[in-house]
Structure 1
């Protein structure tokens, strides 16, 4: 579908797509761009950032969750982590568990505030795990020692790599509007029923612009109304608000 829309696709054996996303996000924000990551994966929360909250970062990074239709920005992640930096998302989940069952945390549980205190003291989860014998709370140190294998596994599975060599420069992903659809590729992917849905009118029965789904066809100009909706969309993501 992406190829049918004329969008660039990167695939490389042995490389997780999430790590490519993290690496391109870091590169683009360092170059001064804002980034929107479209994913339902909560692992992406570790990448969000806002220059209005942290002066040491460039560019906004937000995650758009298509199944819920909401944006997740740094403000929301910090609230979930009880004030913790999004960079600690994987560490806190490995220590405390999560609501989705992707990580169980250490047996007996660990409050997020306690995990944050340890991470702030030692700087990272690997450094904490290497110095468990130095913890003043010996009982906690023993619990961490007993669960060290599962904690490390959870951490490795969710911690994204943002330093991969980029096979294609970010500038290669420039999108020209309107999108130049390839009907043959699209037909092979969607079939006749899907094609009919893609090319149906972007306006609802009342004649108003349909904000839920809109495809710019090759012959369609970007109207002032569409431009206004796009402006609202970008304003929503930079402020971590839901697009309505």
Structure 2
């Protein structure tokens, strides 16, 4: 009976997948799947070498996706859900513990035609293990906040069209590789105003390794610290 319950619980966690479904600009909801590259389903990516790690499955082009106009320095809020609509349950399964990361990449021309390949991504936000004593993770805060997390778009980013890449890494099965589940959403934006900064850049895929301690890790072993992959946050 105990084994059966364990298997049922594992199946429930495995099926509790989710996607990024809403972009908010300075507190204004842009609408479901608006300005977002929408994947074909809510399954995670598990291969850190796959191009799907960039903007999820079928996410290398956004030719049918609009591009939001946002001012440099704006507060962007990203909202995630398990289902195709907002419901009363946790937006992310309570068993999916892990960090939240956000990257930006400037398009050579339009965001819609940009595939995000090469060393073009800059990390502008991350949140991971917030309280080792209670094992509170960034995903717990997202659930408390109805699926939302916010970050500030650095005001010094040059004007132009960008991809905003948000990522939640679920670590409940990450003790061996492949095990970590990467949930990725990309938004297309056009930044107005801005500055002349030249931020550091990494490649996705490319920068993540299966051996990274933020990717292959046992979070149930009294974990006291956690370092997400992808390097440090650039504050602008």
Which category of TM-score, normalised to the shorter sequence, fits these structures? under 0.3
Highest Rg: 1 or 2? 1
| TM-score (norm. length: structure 1) | 0.22
User: Would you tell me which structure has more helix in proportion to its own residues?
Assistant: 1
Larger % of strand: which? Answer: 2
